[in-house]
Structure 1
Amino acid sequence: MTLKDALLCAGFSLALPIGQTMFKAAALYNARLTGPLPLRLISNGPLIGAFAWYGLTALFWFYILTRVPLSLAYAFSIVGSGLVPLVAWLVFKEPLGWRFAAGYALMLLGFLVIMQGQARA
């Protein structure tokens, strides 16, 4: 894996929690809207932005997969998914416990094992 490929994968890892944060913000915004659900959905600017973000990140993922094997790129996406609860805690003050820390430490350990194996290959 080249440095460019690693940076692309890391960028995608950061894009995942951003998208989830956008969807949570859209859900909170939607709760303040009134009227029929279809009208609320089409008038929910944060939701439209979240869908646009996901469209862009899907294209970004597609580009990454033209350069990096899925088995390796996906390890980065797991790290990004693991960041979602941390961002939820920071932005929305959602509770986190020691189990999250332990689980994320295991995920990071697995990621390091994969990257170490890749470095030797």
Structure 2
Amino acid sequence: MSPKDIALCASVAIALPLGQSLFKFAALYDQRLSGPIVMRLVANWPLMAALAWYGLAAILWFYVLTRVPLSTAYAFSLVGACLVPLVGWIVFKEPASWQMGLGYALMTVGFFLVLARPGL
């Protein structure tokens, strides 16, 4: 993989936890709103930001897939998935356990195994 491809894939991996954080902010913000669900959805600016962010991330993902095989690019999403609980623990003070840490560590090892295969 070229450095540009790695940077693009890493950008997608970072975009995923940022989007999930926006969705969590939107869920917390919704608790402060009142009224019908449709009005709460429209008034929920973190939700609108999350949807816009995921729209941009989808365009970036499409571009990545024009350059990198899906099986390789998708491995980077594992990194993003591993960052989400870390953000949840640090930013939102959500509980974490050693089992979660071990599980995500195994996913990270899998990521490096995928990238270490010959021909990349």
Corresponding letter in the other structure for 1:102: L
Distance 1:116 1:37 in 2: 48
Q: How many residues of Structure 1 are paired with residues of Structure 2 in the alignment?
A: 119
- Supply the distance in 2 between the matched residues of 1:7 and 1:104 (Cα, whole angstroms): 22
Letter of the aligned partner of 1:90 in structure 2?
A: I
How far did 1:82 drift? 1.6
TM-score normalised by structure 1 residue count: 0.96
TM-score, structure 2 normalization: 0.97
- Structure 1 residue 81: Cα displacement: 1.2
**Distance in 2 separating the partners of 1:62 and 1:85:** 25
Please report how far the alpha carbon of residue 104 of structure 1 lies from its aligned counterpart in structure 2 after TM superposition.
Answer: 1.1
Does residue 90 of structure 2 align to residue 90 of structure 1?
A: yes
Unaligned runs of 5+ in 2: none
**1:6 aligned partner:** 6
Poorly superposed stretches of 4+, deviation over 2 Å: none
Q: Give how far 1:71 is off.
A: 0.3
Question: What are the within-5 Å matches in structure 2 for residues 105-116 of structure 1?
Answer: 105-116=105-116
Q: Which ranges of structure 1 fall in alignment gaps of 5 or more residues?
A: none
Question: In the TM superposition, what is the alpha-carbon distance from 1:68 to its structure 2 partner?
Answer: 0.3
Range with bigger deviation, 77-86 or 59-68 = 77-86
